[in-house]
Amino acid sequence: AQKVTQAQTEISVVEKEDVTLDCVYETRDTTYYLFWYKQPPSGELVFLIRRNSFDEQNEISGRYSWNFQKSTSSFNFTITASQVVDSAVYFCALSEAGGRGSTLGRLYFGRGTQLTVWP
């Protein structure tokens, strides 16, 4: 079965601190995709990154970085030098790449982590 676990419900940091959001997943598929989304208070879901299961290279985009470790089934997200605008709920999600007909591509979401960055 597919499952995404975000054990941290809420995290509070002070501006300029680094913060890591944890994501652990379960799947029986050998090929899958992992995603991170940001949901600010306005409610829209902002796509941040997609990672293929066969590409374990870490990725950096500005202050954001992602650490994908297949051995531990984790896909953690780090924000460096956090800012108040980073305050949001962050969701980790999993999508299978296998041929399952019309449900191919559906996302399995974690419960989300509420990040609050204080000035």
Partner 1 sequence: SAVISQKPSRDICQRGTSLTIQCQVDSQVTMMFWYRQQPGQSLTLIATANQGSEATYESGFVIDKFPISRPNLTFSTLTVSNMSPEDSSIYLCSVRTSGREQFFGPGTRLTVL
Task: Compute how many other C-beta atoms are within 10 angstroms of the C-beta atom of residue 44.
Answer: 9
Position 68 contacts partner 1 (CB under 8 A): no
- In the set 53, 90, 112, 117, which binds partner 1 (CB under 8 A)? 112
Position 109 contacts partner 1 (CB under 8 A): yes
Position 7 contacts partner 1 (CB under 8 A): no
Q: How far is the CB of 18 from partner 1 (least distance, A)?
A: 25
Interacting residues of 42 by C-beta distance below 8 A, sequence separation 6+:
none
For residues 2 and 43, give the distance between their C-alpha atoms in angstroms, rounded to a whole number.
25
Q: State which residue, 37 or 68, has the beta carbon closest to partner 1.
A: 37
Position 13 contacts partner 1 (CB under 8 A): no
Instruction: Determine contact, residues 4/21, Cβ cutoff 8 Å.
Output: no
Q: State which residue, 15 or 54, has the beta carbon closest to partner 1.
A: 54
DSSP string, 74-114: EEEEEESS--GGG-EEEEEEEEE-S--GGGTT-EEE---EE
Position 107 contacts partner 1 (CB under 8 A): yes
Sites of contact with partner 1 (CB under 8 A): 33, 35, 37, 43-45, 47, 50, 52, 91, 95, 97, 101-107, 109-112
